[in-house]
């Protein structure tokens, strides 16, 4: 039985897992979950995945795993998306944890307010927006003069960060003043075979 990915096609966290599975040529069945209808909080879903979140994958042996970055790290173990060098792998992890702590809550949280809740950009929570802008600014400083965030090749750090960063304009963020981030997004999209979202201009 192929791996099942329970996910939401509007969620960057879920798309991360899809990007990695597609990049590695892994077989999977995608099960669309409507979190706004509570489908990730049913008794059946919680029995499978107690955190009640997507993405959750059920591996081909039936064992479940949640948390986008943990899933990516598991699926990509031993591939060219994870540096073989221990220090570079740690630098990748540094960005993966930073993404979940100081990028996703604010960038994805702001996108959520616009895309899911239908707010206008001016109605977004100002503190969340300010912290998202700071996260995007830090990305610009880190990627300036570089091709990828860690080492000389695309890693999970790029995939984790690009998932919501390429969608940031959907949440009212202007990437035009961040040229290094803008170029890196295009580079990631090309490497992952993704069509540009076409909202960044």
Binding site for a copy of itself (CB under 8 A): 50-51, 59, 63, 65-71, 73-74, 77, 86-87, 89-91, 93-94, 96-98, 100-102, 104-105, 138, 141-142
- 100 by DSSP, 3-state: which? helix
Among candidate residues 133, 195, 131, 142, the one with its CA nearest the CA of residue 168: 133
Between 8 and 200, whose beta carbon lies closer to a copy of itself?
Answer: 8
Give dist(CA 36, CA 23) in Å, integer. Answer: 29
Name the minimum Å distance from CB 201 to a copy of itself.
28
Name the minimum Å distance from CB 17 to a copy of itself.
12
Name the minimum Å distance from CB 190 to a copy of itself.
26
Task: Give Cα separations from 184 to 1, 67, 139, 158 (angstroms).
Answer: 36, 25, 10, 9
Between 108 and 200, whose beta carbon lies closer to a copy of itself?
Answer: 108
Task: Give Cα separations from 8 to 33, 73, 167 (angstroms).
Answer: 5, 20, 14
Name the minimum Å distance from CB 95 to a copy of itself.
8
Between 24 and 51, whose beta carbon lies closer to a copy of itself?
Answer: 51
Output the six-digit token pair for 201.
């201009």
Name the minimum Å distance from CB 89 to a copy of itself.
8
Give dist(CA 107, CA 46) in Å, integer. Answer: 26
Between 91 and 187, whose beta carbon lies closer to a copy of itself?
Answer: 91
Between 96 and 111, whose beta carbon lies closer to a copy of itself?
Answer: 96
Residues facing 28 on adjacent strands? 3
Give dist(CA 153, CA 74) in Å, integer. Answer: 19
């Amino acid at each position: 039985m192929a791996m099942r990915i329970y996910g939401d096609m509007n969620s960057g966290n879920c798309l991360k897992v899809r990007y990695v599975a597609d990049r590695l040529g892994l077989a999977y069945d995608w099960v669309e979950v409507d979190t706004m209808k509570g489908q990730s909080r049913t008794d059946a879903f919680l029995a499978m995945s107690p955190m009640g979140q997507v993405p959750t994958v059920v591996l081909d042996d039936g064992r479940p795993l949640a948390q986008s970055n943990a899933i990516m790290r598991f699926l990509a173990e031993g591939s060219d998306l994870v540096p073989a060098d221990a220090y570079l792998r740690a630098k990748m992890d540094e960005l993966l944890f930073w993404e979940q702590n100081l990028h996703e809550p604010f960038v994805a949280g702001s996108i959520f307010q616009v895309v899911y809740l239908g707010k206008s950009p001016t109605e977004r929570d100002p503190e969340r927006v300010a912290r998202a802008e700071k996260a995007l600014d830090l990305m610009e400083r880190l990627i300036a003069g570089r091709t990828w965030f860690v080492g000389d090749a695309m890693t999970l750090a790029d995939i984790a960060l690009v998932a919501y960063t390429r969608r940031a304009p959907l949440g009212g963020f202007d990437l035009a003043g961040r040229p290094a981030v803008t170029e890196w997004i295009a580079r990631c999209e090309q490497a992952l075979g993704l069509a540009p979202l076409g909202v960044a201009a």
